[in-house]
Structure 1
């Protein structure tokens, strides 16, 4: 499929506002589909299918594909593209003209089991975290994002790029880097490399602390990442002494910084939250 020809026929001009960079290289599509390791029973959720190059690769590999596209022209054209190029597998496609940040489980039937997507650069992290929160049936995924974002998503404690995206993704899943993607496989060509991130869902940290409480601690810890946790969590806890007490109760050194903690340690801090701490219930 020649995406420039299709774009011209549809009058589509890629926009930075929607983060549109369309994959045109068939080898890259095959690489993504292979790395996603789909089975014939999988129901795939694709966000931002654009002109459909990745969609066409996914259709023969899965039982069903939900394609969520915010652009009305692209959403309207995708079914015909599938019929033209995917043959009988086109029946496996359902296109949702919607904002992925507003998708809920009730919108998707059958329930998706895997997320495979070339995500718009400007919303990649919030989309991944939103979908993992809203769709408990998502067991794994493979997403293509800006390389810098990929590095943050898979970073571990102690890394200089470890931060809020790293820890929040770790709440839901185990993530790993799955390869680099050069700019020349996209149209228009971005000025940065992309990276593949693979993840597999796991149970949240033990202790039964609500996610919202843990995420409030994570946000506070990294809002002032150069500060010690005693200082960074003062606003959350209601003062530095109360923050220190919660940290000690969780077995965390009050002079440590957020970038050194695992998601399990953040959960332990949330569990030790003093009465009245932000996000406590």
Structure 2
């Protein structure tokens, strides 16, 4: 079992590296070992998993994960944090150092050839949480499970269901990859510095290629996400009006919606991802 970082450890490491957490990089460091254990347990990962951790920071969650999995790739944009992480693991959990790979890179620039993770477990930087999540899901089809900590409001939106006022682009796109649900709430006081908002855990159980409840062609896939963006760009408008630009005219939008079995007077927030996939089929 790895020794986990407490408040004194976090402050000592930050002082050593002359790091002042910044909003620009979305840095809030977890300093509560019990919360780390809770997150690792909720992730439901094991020895067979290759976990991708985005934004490991000073290594709080990294140490917890290394005791549970055989392979962990930690992607850190800050070169100071990336360079210190291996040393931290050597200090606190030397028996697990062979399990760790540190990648000093912007997670939004990860490419499919970089690694083949089976799970994502991370305290995502708040300012880029949704773009990073969607990027890694699109880039690594090997991912089977996601457990991420994000701002509570973002967690609610990711897990929102059709018809909800907060259901939108993140909700639909996340549900394309798998079953999304809230997996818990996290208070402010487990972080240093404490953020101004609470956090939430989101779990996604990703569909395997042969298990998704729909079939989608390459042509449909190229249309799907732009179509979702267009439907919610003017969410108060009917789909006929919102999709006029996408289809070229209101009449063309109405025809496509009817072909997909969707009421042109409906709004985007009422559609499931399956509805959008049908619409992408007639728009390709």
Question: What residue number does 1:106 align with?
Answer: 113
TM-score by length of 2: 0.94
**Paired residues for 1:259-274 under 5 Å:** 259-273=269-283
Question: What residue number does 2:224 align with?
Answer: 214
Alignment equivalent of 2:97, drawn from 90, 100, 110? 90
Q: Deviations over 1:195-244 (max 9, x none)?
A: 00000111373242532201111011000000000100000011011100
* Unpaired runs of at least 5, structure 2: none
Alignment equivalent of 2:238, drawn from 224, 228, 252? 228
Q: Tell whether the 8 Å contact from 2:50 to 2:70 is kept in structure 1 after alignment.
A: yes
C-alpha separation between the residues in 1 aligned to 2:124 and 2:153? Answer: 13
Alignment equivalent of 1:237, drawn from 242, 247, 260? 247
Q: Tell whether the 8 Å contact from 2:157 to 2:171 is kept in structure 1 after alignment.
A: yes
Q: Deviations over 1:40-82 (max 9, x none)?
A: 1111000000000000000010010000000000000000000
CA spacing shift, 1:204–1:49, aligned 2, 3 Å: farther
C-alpha separation between the residues in 2 aligned to 1:204 and 1:242? Answer: 28
Q: Deviations over 1:77-131 (max 9, x none)?
A: 00000011112111100100000000112112xx210000000000000001000
Question: What residue number does 1:13 align with?
Answer: 20
Question: What residue number does 1:146 align with?
Answer: 151
TM-score by length of 1: 0.95
| 1:78 and 2:85 aligned | yes
Q: Tell whether the 8 Å contact from 1:39 to 1:61 is kept in structure 2 after alignment.
A: yes
C-alpha separation between the residues in 2 aligned to 1:229 and 1:261? Answer: 10
Question: What residue number does 2:260 align with?
Answer: 250
C-alpha separation between the residues in 2 aligned to 1:207 and 1:80? Answer: 45
Question: What residue number does 1:277 align with?
Answer: none
C-alpha separation between the residues in 2 aligned to 1:224 and 1:172? Answer: 24
Deviation of 1:10 after TM superposition, in Å, equals 1.2
Deviation of 1:246 after TM superposition, in Å, equals 0.3
C-alpha separation between the residues in 2 aligned to 1:24 and 1:187? Answer: 7
Deviation of 1:9 after TM superposition, in Å, equals 1.1
Alignment equivalent of 2:133, drawn from 109, 128, 131? 128
Q: Tell whether the 8 Å contact from 2:71 to 2:100 is kept in structure 1 after alignment.
A: yes
* Unpaired runs of at least 5, structure 1: 274-279
Aligned residues: 272
Q: What SS does structure 2 have at the residue aligned with 1:73?
A: helix
- Aligned alpha-carbon RMSD (Å): 1.0
Deviation of 1:149 after TM superposition, in Å, equals 0.3
Q: Tell whether the 8 Å contact from 2:220 to 2:281 is kept in structure 1 after alignment.
A: no
Q: Tell whether the 8 Å contact from 2:46 to 2:68 is kept in structure 1 after alignment.
A: yes
C-alpha separation between the residues in 2 aligned to 1:67 and 1:204? Answer: 32
Question: What residue number does 1:276 align with?
Answer: none
